[in-house]
Chains A and B, each alone.
Chain A
Amino acid sequence: MGDITDAIRCALHDHARLAVNIADLGEESDLYRAGLSSHASVSLMLALEERFDIEFPERMLRRGAFASIAAIRANVRELIGADA
């Protein structure tokens, strides 16, 4: 659980190109308000797919699914669980 969150924060740091410090983001902070563009969100999705060896299905490729660290984690956990 902590590992997943750390990996998400790491991916945000490397790919999200946010205007804020990743460490300052809360679990529910709105990533789009923090400056996440749709272009950067694609890079973020790709990095997470590679890191967790998952593929986000079509229904998760929506704005809401990547709106916060908590939302991303819920999706990643669902996919890891489904693969296990």
Chain B
Amino acid sequence: MTQVLATDDIVATAQAIGTGIAGPAADAVDSEGRFPREAIDALRDARMLGAFVPHELGGRGASISDLAAVCETLGRSCASTAMIYAMHQIQVACLVHHGHGSAFFRDYLAGIARHEWLLASGTSEVGTGGELRRSLCAVVYEGASLRVGKRTPVISYGEEADAVLLTARRGPAAAPSDQVLVLLTKGDMCLTRTGEWDALGMRGTRSLGFSLDAVASPEQVLPDPFADIATRTMIPMSHVLWSSLWLGLASDAVARAHAFIRSAARQTPGSAPPGALRLAEAVADLASLRATVQGGLADFERRAHDPGALDDLGFAIGMNSLKSTAARLAPHIVAQALATCGISGYRNGTPYSVGRHLRDAYSAALMVNNDRLLAANAHLLLVHKGD
């Protein structure tokens, strides 16, 4: 268990879990709207949840590229599993990048490596209109402890997670944008379900609504202001990992369309099947999506250890562009795959079915709405001068 595996093993492990466990369960997870328990357990058993924890704290010291490759690989098999993995690693990255100066968080990171705890995100809040950088709830210090209560429209896999990273105002008198990020373990909080999750797609993420009440210790507040955590880690990590899993999702749909066309072509040698042009379009758009994701990932990795470079307005604009472009292309590519496969793609339960892919892909433009990101970029471009 303490053996440190080479980084390429992380991707190979993801591939084995994707094709062997997550993929075969994906349709059941989707139709039943249940947590992909078998896939997440397999990732946990393979020490994949603590992959991003640095070696010195007992983790596997994976890079951002490794995580992106894992998300893409899992995205090919089960987008819900890939999204849960991505969201978990986004939280872990916030702790790795912004908690390393704190004894409490170093211990907690070592715990993630040892126990493979699953972390969820508690950033949304009823009444803020989906704005990440605004909170209504506040951390309240009472003697030696801290109290926080929040109404969240969504905490994905909140019931299955071992801990939640929650945004809140720094204190009762703080401005809505003066936020902190608090780590709340299962034992710290009481979650009361306020909403169900019966959605068009991404049905395995179990993104229920909750009313959350927690009592914790002041050391569970990350030392860096949330403004810095969001700009330097949470937002770029989210946009890179989400885009990677959408790339995987779209790749699998195109692979199914390609298999369909090959099969059809064998039956009518000498003439291309009618869907072949749609496949050619899908392959071209998939290459654009791949280039977009790789470009964004490379830019993030280049800046990852330079806070100044992460604070560049140009980088924020680039990350917003990455997410909005990937979220626009992914459902478009899957729709092309559907057009390629025709009724065989439309029908569920065939080797060419892409209905689940399409429904899952439509979530991309909605989770952090593309219009919100484009509006943010439109605003930032008023002062941005270009490189």
> Pick the contact of A32 from B227, B311, B380, B385 — CB < 8 Å?
B227
The number of chain A residues touching the other chain, given as a range, is: 20 to 34
Q: In this assembly, does B269 line the interface, its C-beta being within 8 Å of a C-beta of chain A?
A: no
Q: Is the CB of B177 within 8 A of A32?
A: yes
A35 to B225, CA, bound (A): 13
Given A46-B383, A62-B308, residue A37 in contact with residue B177 (CB < 8 A): yes
- Known: A32-B225, A39-B379, A42-B383. Is A62-B313 also a contact (CB below 8 A)? yes
A37-B133, A42-B380, A42-B383 known; A58+B175 contact, CB < 8 A = no
Please name the residue on chain B nearest to A63 by beta carbon. B311
Q: A44: nearest residue on chain B (CB-CB)?
A: B383
Q: Is B174 an interface residue (CB 8 A)?
A: yes
Contacts of A62 in B (CB 8 A): 308, 311-313
What residues on B are CB-neighbors of A64 within 8 Å? 311
Find the A residue at minimum CB distance from B308.
A62
B176 close to chain A: CB less than 8 A:
yes
A58 touches B311 (CB 8 A): no
B residues 339-387 near A (Cβ < 8 Å) are 379-380, 382-387
Chain A residue nearest in CB terms to B380: A42
Q: Is A8 an interface residue (CB 8 A)?
A: no
A31 vs B385: C-alpha distance when bound (angstroms): 24
Shortest distance from the beta carbon of B177 to any chain A beta carbon, whole Å: 5
Contact: B314 with A42, CB < 8 Å? Answer: no
Task: Report A's interface with B, CB cutoff 8 A.
Answer: 18-19, 32-39, 42, 45-46, 49, 55-58, 61-64
Chosen A-B contacts, 12 in total, with CB atoms closer than 8 Å, are A32-B225, A33-B170, A34-B175, A35-B178, A42-B379, A42-B383, A46-B382, A46-B383, A49-B383, A61-B383, A61-B385, A63-B227
Interface residues of B (CB under 8 A from A): 133-134, 170, 174-178, 225, 227-228, 231, 308, 311-314, 379-380, 382-387
Q: A18-B175, A37-B134 given. 8 additional CB < 8 A pairs?
A: A33-B178, A35-B175, A39-B379, A55-B385, A58-B314, A58-B384, A58-B387, A63-B228
